Amino acid sequence: MTSVRLVGLDFGTTTSRCVAATARLSKNAVTGRQELSDIREVFRSPIVLTPFGQDRLDLRRLEEHLDDWLSAAAADTQEIFGGGALVTGLAAQQPNSSALVELIRSRVKDLLVATAGDPCLEAWLAFQANAGSISRARPDRPDRWVINLDIGGGTTNIAVGRSGEVLRTGSLFVGARHIEVEPGTYRIVKLSRYARAMLDDLAIAVGPGDRLTSPQLDAILDWQMELLESALAGDRAVFEKPVARLHEQVAFHPPSELQNPIVCLSGGVGELVYKMLRSELPPSTTQFGDLGIDLAARIAKSRWKARPTEAAPLDAGRATVYGLLLYATQVSGSTVYLADSAVLPMRDVPILGRITDDSTDAEIQDILQLASRSAVGGCVVVSLAQSDGQTVRTLGERIGSTLRSAEIPAATRLVLLVRENVGKALGGYLSQWGSVPHKLVVLDEIEPLDARFVQIGALRDQVVPISFYGMN
């Protein structure tokens, strides 16, 4: 059992933070899968306000935070095995958010996935961190649905799932900080473009320097609640209006069989709701300089039956960063096929498609040729109807045969992901037991997510860390 270090970095609309932990790589004696276990937090940064300059992120101050946090999180960044860094919410909407991603990448190299504006990934991570254990607690009840609403400063990320598996995600620009006010008052300091559109729709003619009246505040909160409830109910009529569509970052389509879900809340606003449900003394009016407290109060009185926060394993306000820490990285099985371990790590590898037992030779050839045209290589998900020897042999030999007949260049870096524990055998048959020159990687025991990219770390103690991003 190897000890590894995990790091999560979350740069959000309102706040930013970092968490680091140690974990053990071990085999789950029930499932037989490699997992990260015995996770122990070793560093938790203070929550800082995400520094903004004039209409953009303040990269200089962010760099200071980043360097301070990384040096506290890991004595040597090379120790880092997994986790992730996300620029989320309105921070991801800033024109220089990609520069922040590059800054992070310059520090963590290929050890952590780092990306901006990936709302479905955010929703997925928040679900796993905040509601995953609740969702997994009753594997005997597949009809037990759980919805997680991760309500932060800029966005509400929605994920619904059962038995620990997220089935649908969505995201709305509904959050605490679209209208910034002077703390303790309702005097407007700043409006996001989404807030501007909403106020226009409500015919509320206010701007920076104006004070919101009580009826105006009610109207704003009613508007936001209607949008949230319509999304959850799958009521698409509301989103016919351009202003509602503007607020819809990713449309949420609830499953038709969704009934009586358990509702979990996370994010800064979600955490406030729980405090109110527990009758803790609420913060004073607009203490945080936004409408988060008011939005939380409205949600606390809503018809949703929010699950008490003590059921959540981690504090709801940090769901995204804990999600990054704990769930952004999957661990492969310990019997992967690696033609050349020097080919790893790999970053920004596009997921090109799926090969199944039913795929035609032409379909296999098309995918392999796509991989050959990608400078960083290509990733293919392999779905096996069965994992018996004959199936593995047949499909492995077919892909290998196509690799040779289609004259795929030897320099092509091809990554196959397979759910079953057959990586070494599939790679063996595909490569004619190591006799083809291609830089082939077969990672097994991976649950492929509906994403566009993967980042693959280096081999460590027989396993390989892998992160999905660019989720659909």
Partner 1 sequence: MRELTHCNDIPVPDPKPDRIYSAQLLDREMQFVGLKRLLGAADYSKAGDRHAGLAAEAEDIREAARSALSDLTLEHIYEHPLTDDRGRVDSVMRVNYDIDLDVFSPIASLTLGDLKDRLLSAPGNEVERIGRGLTGVMAAALAKLCDVHELIFIARKCSRPTQARTLLGAPGTLSSRLQPNHPTDDPQGIACLCYWGLSLASGDALLGVNPAIDTVENVESLLKLLDSVRRRTGAPSQICVLAHIKTQLACLDRGAPVEVLFQSLAGTEETNLAEFDISVDLLDHGYRTMAERGALHRVARQFMYFETGQGSEFTYGRHHGIDMTTTEALCYGLARRYDPFMVNNVTGFIGPETHRDSFEMMLANLQDHFMGKLLGLPMGMAPCYTLHSQTILEGQQIATQLLTAAGANYFMDVCLNTDRMLAYFDTSAHDVQTLRELYRRTPAPEYLEWAIGRGILQKEADGSVRRGPQWGNPEQFCDSPEEFAELARRTPALYGRETAGPRPANSVMRRVKFNQGAARAAIHSELRIDDLQRLANFRVLETTAKDKEAHLNSPEAGARLSPASLARLSPEAKQVQIVVSDGLSAEALHHNLPDLLPTLVDGLTSRNISQGQPIVVRYGRVKLAEQIADTLECDLVVFLVGERPGGDALASRSLSAYLVYRLTGAALAEAARFSGNSRAKWEQTVISNIYSGGLPPVEAGAVILEKVLQILAHKAAGNRLLALLKSSTP
- Selected binder of partner 1 within 37, 78, 284, 285 (CB under 8 A): 37
Stretch touching partner 1 by CB under 8 A, among 22-30, 53-61, 119-127, 205-213: 22-30
Nearest approach in angstroms of CB 19 to partner 1 is 19
Interface with partner 1, residue 140, by CB under 8 A: no
Stretch touching partner 1 by CB under 8 A, among 109-117, 134-142, 176-184, 345-353: 134-142
Stretch touching partner 1 by CB under 8 A, among 11-19, 26-34, 98-106, 197-205: 26-34
- Selected binder of partner 1 within 101, 126, 134, 188 (CB under 8 A): 134
Under rule CB under 8 A, which residues in 162-201 are in contact with partner 1?
Answer: none
**419, exposed or middle or buried, with CB in 10 Å at 0-12, 13-18, 19+?**
middle
Interface with partner 1, residue 30, by CB under 8 A: yes
Nearest approach in angstroms of CB 313 to partner 1 is 6
**Which two tokens mark 42?**
């070793």
Nearest approach in angstroms of CB 432 to partner 1 is 6
Buried b (16+ CB within 10 A) or exposed e, 241-261: eebbeebbbbebebeeebeeb
- Cβ closest to partner 1, residue 335 vs residue 365: 335
Crossing angle for the helix pair 267-277 and 319-327, to the nearest 10 degrees = 120
Interface with partner 1, residue 383, by CB under 8 A: no
Interface with partner 1, residue 437, by CB under 8 A: no
Residue type, 103: L
How many residues in the shown chain lie near partner 1 by CB under 8 A?
38
Interface with partner 1, residue 335, by CB under 8 A: yes
Nearest approach in angstroms of CB 422 to partner 1 is 5
Nearest approach in angstroms of CB 441 to partner 1 is 15
Provide Rg for the chain, Cα atoms: 23
- Cβ closest to partner 1, residue 118 vs residue 420: 420
- Cβ closest to partner 1, residue 120 vs residue 392: 392
Mask 391-430, x = binds partner 1 (CB under 8 A)? -xx--------------------------xxxxxx-xxx-
Interface with partner 1, residue 27, by CB under 8 A: yes
Sheet-wide strand order for 330-331: 330-331, 465-471, 451-456, 346-356, 378-383, 413-418, 439-444, 337-338
- Selected binder of partner 1 within 388, 409, 437, 447 (CB under 8 A): 388
Interface with partner 1, residue 118, by CB under 8 A: no
**Which two tokens mark 214?**
């009580």
- Selected binder of partner 1 within 46, 142, 313, 437 (CB under 8 A): 313
- Selected binder of partner 1 within 216, 387, 401, 461 (CB under 8 A): 387
- Cβ closest to partner 1, residue 62 vs residue 464: 464
Stretch touching partner 1 by CB under 8 A, among 51-59, 105-113, 114-122, 133-141: 133-141
Nearest approach in angstroms of CB 402 to partner 1 is 19
- Selected binder of partner 1 within 138, 253, 301, 373 (CB under 8 A): 138
What is the distance between the alpha carbons of residues 105 and 114, in angstroms, rounded to a whole number?
7
For residues 52, 54, 60, 63, the Cα torsion angle rounded to the nearest 10 degrees is 30
Interface with partner 1, residue 75, by CB under 8 A: no
Residues pairing with 380 in the sheet? 353, 416
Distance of CA 91 to the CA centre of its chain: 15
Under 8 Å CB-to-CB from 84, ≥6 apart: which residues? 8, 9, 112, 113, 114, 115, 125, 324, 325, 328, 329, 467, 469
Nearest approach in angstroms of CB 30 to partner 1 is 5
- Residue recorded with tokens 């220089």: 96
- Within 10 angstroms of residue 466's Cβ, the number of other Cβ atoms is 25
- Selected binder of partner 1 within 133, 163, 216, 365 (CB under 8 A): 133
Nearest approach in angstroms of CB 124 to partner 1 is 19
Asked if residue 345 has a cis previous peptide bond (ω within 30° of 0), the answer is yes
- In terms of Cα–Cα distance, which of 10, 6, 111 is closest to 66? 10
For partner 1, the binding residues (CB under 8 A) are 1, 26-30, 32, 37-38, 133-134, 136-138, 310-311, 313, 335, 337, 387-389, 392-393, 420-425, 427-429, 432-435, 444
